[in-house]
Amino acid sequence: MYEFAVTPAVTQIRRRGVTITEVAPGSLGAELELEPGDRVVKVNGRVVRDYLDFRFHTGGETELTLDVLKRGGEEWEVEIERGEGEDFGLSFENIAPRQCANECLFCFCKGNPPDARPALFFRDEDVRLSFLYGNYTTLSSITDDEMARVIEQRLTPQYVSVHATDLKVRAHLLGVDEKRADISDKMRRMMDAGIEIHAQVVLCPTINDGEVLRKTVEDLAAEYPRVRSVAIVPLGLTRYNTDERLTAVTPEWCREVIREVSAMQRGLKESLGTNFAFLGDEIYLRAGRRVPGRSHYGDYPQIEDGVGMVRSFREEFARLTRRLEKSAPRDAAALHGTILTGTLFEPVLSELIADLNERFGTRLKVTAVENRYFGSEIVVAGLMTGECVEAARGELEGDFVVLPSTAHKSDEPVMLDGTRLEDLERRLGLPLRALDFEGFARMVAES
């Protein structure tokens, strides 16, 4: 996963305990004189490796003993009695992710420009991040300790990149031997312990599509509801991943996949009451088809993987329109600017924005930003870079530019190629607003 999902502490040296980064004023932590830089090493005699351990060991306990290593080197033993559910008011350092031991054919690292920032080559494979953020792991190198932790701490659900249940195919895709590729026992152990699994298939033309995909979906569906859903997303090839074993995705291939998976879904809906296996939005859009309706997705089990995002966006947009009908913007015509998006989503967004302009008088324009950094095959908005945006400068209109908030790091205004938003704003000569949908809706409603 790209670091946009979570900031990997690549350079962080593993030390004992977990470091406190903030203490809320007036909180229990402040009362105990805990400070940023202190490390909590043990809770009730149990070792703390990260904030998940802290959360787990303190959860539900009212009498606690914390072993704390003060930032000055002093060792404290802090006895605490707290009210039920009373929060410590502490924030902790990020989890330092564990690295994967695979060599996937389609790994994003192989798709990076050689001079990309080192952080973009970090291959995280961490069951903790899977639980916390929905990052996928292959489980192929999960240790016994990690497995025990998932079960003991109930780190459910887990998001697992299965790709294929055919072992030969899975081993080929992951670049590991068949023994390591075989995760059936590991999945079973998790499921038997009540851990739910959401599976993912990165679908590669001619490798794990067709009959292999049919078998994968069938095998996983046999475990429903312990395996809750399967997301099927297409291979993304940048101009740097030129591995000859990979075949690029085409609109015809997408249409064939839709045809095959729709047939499977009909059967699954009948037998399980859910479509269970969901295609990524990209497959529909590349095929030139409309994404399915709301009811297709149930509770959107894998929306973060781009499955149902377009449908959900359309719904949010419809809600915004209804709100504006009741309370129209005061000076809509003054809202004159350009919204940037990826080439894949541009037709959908253009249609919605054209409707908004017509109904309410806003003057917004949508511009598709071609991905020059990774190559034009990369069509999603979240991977656009500062260089790509600058190249689209001639197409900007109005008084400001809206950038999707997914195009910069979640905790810092920096884009994938290292461009800082304030520098980009200066180079564009226009105010830049990095907005998620909520921010966009507020901007329109308050205009």
**Contact flag: residue 135 with ligand SF4 (CB under 6 A):** no
User: Smallest distance, Å, CB 201 to ligand SF4?
Assistant: 13
**Contact flag: residue 104 with ligand SF4 (CB under 6 A):** yes
Largest CA distance in the chain: 66
**Contact flag: residue 229 with ligand SF4 (CB under 6 A):** no
Give the whole-angstrom CA distance, residue 142 versus residue 182. 12
3, 53, 125, 166: which one binds ligand SF4 (CB under 6 A): 125
Total interface residues for ligand SF4 by CB under 6 A: 9
Distance of CA 330 to the CA centre of its chain: 36
**Contact flag: residue 100 with ligand SF4 (CB under 6 A):** yes
Give the whole-angstrom CA distance, residue 345 versus residue 310. 8
Tokens of residue 378, six digits: 């990369």
**Contact flag: residue 235 with ligand SF4 (CB under 6 A):** no
Between 23 and 174, CB nearer to ligand SF4: 174
**Contact flag: residue 343 with ligand SF4 (CB under 6 A):** no
Residue 282 contacts residue 235 (beta carbons within 8 Å): no
**Contact flag: residue 138 with ligand SF4 (CB under 6 A):** yes
**Contact flag: residue 107 with ligand SF4 (CB under 6 A):** yes
Choose the binding region for ligand SF4 from 96-104, 262-270, 276-284, 352-360 (rule: CB under 6 A).
96-104
**Contact flag: residue 289 with ligand SF4 (CB under 6 A):** no
Q: How many residues does the chain have?
A: 447
**Contact flag: residue 362 with ligand SF4 (CB under 6 A):** no
Between 140 and 275, CB nearer to ligand SF4: 140
Site for ligand SF4 in 47-66 (CB under 6 A): none
**Contact flag: residue 102 with ligand SF4 (CB under 6 A):** yes
Between 100 and 213, CB nearer to ligand SF4: 100
According to DSSP, residue 124 is labeled B
Choose the binding region for ligand SF4 from 12-20, 101-109, 375-383, 398-406 (rule: CB under 6 A).
101-109
Between 214 and 239, CB nearer to ligand SF4: 239
Residue 366 contacts residue 350 (beta carbons within 8 Å): yes
Beta bridge partners of 341: 368
75-81 and 63-69 as β-strands: parallel, antiparallel, unpaired? Answer: antiparallel
Between 104 and 401, CB nearer to ligand SF4: 104
**Contact flag: residue 119 with ligand SF4 (CB under 6 A):** no
Residue 206 contacts residue 245 (beta carbons within 8 Å): no
Three-class secondary structure of residue 447 per DSSP: coil
121: number of Cβ within 10 Å: 14
In the chain, what is the straight-line distance between the N-terminal and C-terminal CA atoms, in Å? 37
**Contact flag: residue 123 with ligand SF4 (CB under 6 A):** yes
Angle, helices 346-360 vs 309-326, to 10°: value is 10
Residue 235 contacts residue 257 (beta carbons within 8 Å): no
- Residues that bind ligand SF4 in the complex, under the rule CB under 6 A: 100, 102-104, 107, 109, 123, 125, 138
